[in-house]
Structure 1
């Protein structure tokens, strides 16, 4: 779907969709408990992948509006289990160890689309190799077979916290006690905090030793609970950015005490308004970069440098390159570094005009472009704008409802 955005100031009240990150976590825990319900669940393409993955692993559920009700968890009888992760890195990395724990020695096939199976899995591969778990990539996907063993699990925390989350879900299911040891620096601690919050909600005990070690008793059972997923600061960031650029949207449904690391967006944009040139370490908040870069493009006469951003290159797109491509297409001055982005702020941006901005099949690039468009002097043409369905299926509907003028571009 190609769209043309005619710049308009957004105004009104918006209830932000539920947190995709917490939605994954609550769904997995509820499915492992075999009961309870998860309310206020925004079923994006990524969440749908996790729901279907847990169904393949024996969890039965049904929907009642935006509530998923989990009714049972049966043992998997099939010798081959296929889990289609679509483009969801969370689904793949969370469910890999969970599936091995639930289906020892069965053949597990993980399928993916886009860049998913190109994204790093080495921390699991190294750990699985020590345990004798076989992993093989092919055109059909990733095939895994073996037995997940309790004990000490040593792995890097610098590639993605998702590996730690996957193990935190799986290891309590094993008979023996386990320990996760982080061999370097754990980045994106906020996401691990979300995991620990979800696990605690469902009765799982984990001792966090200053994010260097996690002690997990074995033989635990997930307890059936009813939960409500809070609003998503990662999605709210695009409307916060639009407000920074000149819109007036009141955001509802957000928890001011949330463990979401992306809650930092409010404080960062407040600093943007007060500071001159600034440098921002984004190692713990990589998903905020496209929205923050869109806002930075309007810091007239000021330079913003985003550093320690290397993990952005292994997202749905090479998100450093894609963010720079987006800003240049809109008329901003930006420089791409190996692990950085530098933006020179302007009063306004001209927009794309008759040219087109390729969203690079990246939901966050499309939404950041829409936020930046509210301050452009000319129209903005987007290619592949349907990619927002990955995390925020009703984004364009909400954008229009707030006064955004968006039309399908049939050229």
Structure 2
């Protein structure tokens, strides 16, 4: 679907959809429990569908109730008897894949994962190296990853002990291991061999586990101690509104729209709540530098803000953005350039020069955050903006275009 947007300021109240980062974690904690859990406020995005689909393939029961509520029948804290040769389809969700690879070791026999788009090209080496060290079979071929711990029935494929991973690739690897380590017979430690980036996301995992009665504790800033022999308990929880998606409405407000953003938890563990502070930093004129290692998903809306401010903004520690749904450093730079802005990318940085946006044509590169950033940038352009492949917002914000129109946005399908 291609859209044309006529520049127009937005006005009105908006509540962002529930945090898919939190929803993934609540779903997995519920699925690992030994009972029936209830989760409220789930958004029906493609990424959340992917996690639900995979957990269902592992025989967790999913029962939809009204108003985005889901009843989850847990697997029961142990070995999973999945259908023979079950293939876990992760869609384009990196969270689904990386969170569930260790959980897949609970399956009796092989666990196989696949995905679409760039998913199976995204980095998995931290797991591959660790699994080979632990004697767990790892095979990635023809867009399918198969892992097999080679243990008999009733035995987990992982042993308690020390698990070391680099912390500068993605916190998602830590989350995946953290989900299964409490189920091991003995105590374990999870160690980041480099300074741990996106630590807030790991705190979100620990919060979801705490809701299910599972605990861990920090020994130092890079080491988690995880007691073994724990069990996940059923629970009831509500997914928070998403600070990542709120970033786009913050950007709209920055560009002189009047958007009242509601429903956000100011005490949330979501790292992207940093947008509320970064908004004010960008509002001050002059050159500035922003480290996005802890909030990489905010780069597109922050870059749109930077393109309209007075001064040059340099976003640093951003190398991981090259392995998102698109090479997001390149596609963000291309987005701004296509709309008449000035931006230069480097290996791990993006420099944006403030000025005026004129309009033009943006290829979303099948990246939901590029599509939404283009829509917000259009509100400050002097001419129309064409958005190619606008349907990609389904990945995380299915009703984004409807909300945009309700706020006064002027969009037409081409």
Which interval holds the TM-score relative to the shorter structure?
A: over 0.9
> Is there any run of 5+ residues in structure 1 with no aligned partner, and where?
none
What is the aligned partner in structure 2 of residue 46 from structure 1? 47
Task: Check conservation: 2:82, 2:107, Cα contact below 8 A.
Answer: no
What is the aligned partner in structure 2 of residue 14 from structure 1? 14
Spell out, residue by residue over 1:316-352, the C-alpha distance to the aligned partner (whole angstroms, 9 max, x if none).
1100000000000111011111111111111x31100
What is the aligned partner in structure 2 of residue 351 from structure 1? 359
CA-CA distance at 1:140 after TM superposition:
4.6
Spell out, residue by residue over 1:116-153, the C-alpha distance to the aligned partner (whole angstroms, 9 max, x if none).
01000111011100111111111151111112222111
Structure 2 distance, partners of 1:293, 1:381, is: 19
What is the aligned partner in structure 2 of residue 80 from structure 1? 85
Aligned match of 2:333 in 300, 304, 324?
324
Task: Check conservation: 1:61, 1:72, Cα contact below 8 A.
Answer: no
CA-CA distance at 1:211 after TM superposition:
3.2
What is the aligned partner in structure 2 of residue 389 from structure 1? 394
Aligned match of 1:68 in 45, 70, 85?
70
Structure 1 distance, partners of 2:74, 2:346, is: 50
CA-CA distance at 1:43 after TM superposition:
1.7
Aligned match of 1:376 in 375, 381, 384?
381
CA-CA distance at 1:47 after TM superposition:
0.5
Cα distance, 1:72–1:342 mapped onto 2, change above 3 Å = closer
Aligned match of 2:95 in 75, 83, 90?
90
SS of match in other structure, 2:218? strand
SS of match in other structure, 1:293? helix
Cα distance, 1:201–1:275 mapped onto 2, change above 3 Å = farther
CA-CA distance at 1:80 after TM superposition:
2.1
Q: Number of residues paired by the alignment? A: 402
CA-CA distance at 1:72 after TM superposition:
4.2
Aligned match of 1:162 in 143, 148, 172?
172
Q: CA RMSD in A?
A: 1.1
Structure 1 distance, partners of 2:82, 2:260, is: 50
The reply to whether residue 130 of structure 1 matches residue 121 of structure 2 is no
User: Higher mean Cα deviation, 138-147 or 11-20?
Assistant: 138-147
The reply to whether residue 112 of structure 1 matches residue 115 of structure 2 is yes
The reply to whether residue 363 of structure 1 matches residue 368 of structure 2 is yes
Task: Check conservation: 1:35, 1:225, Cα contact below 8 A.
Answer: yes
Task: Check conservation: 2:170, 2:197, Cα contact below 8 A.
Answer: yes
Structure 1 distance, partners of 2:25, 2:193, is: 24
Structure 1 distance, partners of 2:230, 2:385, is: 53
> Is there any run of 5+ residues in structure 2 with no aligned partner, and where?
150-156
Aligned match of 1:295 in 302, 305, 321?
305
What is the aligned partner in structure 1 of residue 145 from structure 2? 142
Cα distance, 1:16–1:77 mapped onto 2, change above 3 Å = closer
Spell out, residue by residue over 1:51-77, the C-alpha distance to the aligned partner (whole angstroms, 9 max, x if none).
111111221011112011113436424
Structure 2 distance, partners of 1:213, 1:273, is: 37
SS of match in other structure, 1:180? strand
Structure 2 distance, partners of 1:219, 1:54, is: 22
SS of match in other structure, 1:290? helix
Aligned match of 2:406 in 390, 401, 407?
401
Spell out, residue by residue over 1:61-105, the C-alpha distance to the aligned partner (whole angstroms, 9 max, x if none).
1111201111343642433221000000000000000110x214x
TM-score between both structures, scaled by the size of structure 2: 0.95
Structure 2 distance, partners of 1:276, 1:333, is: 16
TM-score between both structures, scaled by the size of structure 1: 0.96
Spell out, residue by residue over 1:208-228, the C-alpha distance to the aligned partner (whole angstroms, 9 max, x if none).
223311111112111111000
What is the aligned partner in structure 1 of residue 152 from structure 2? none
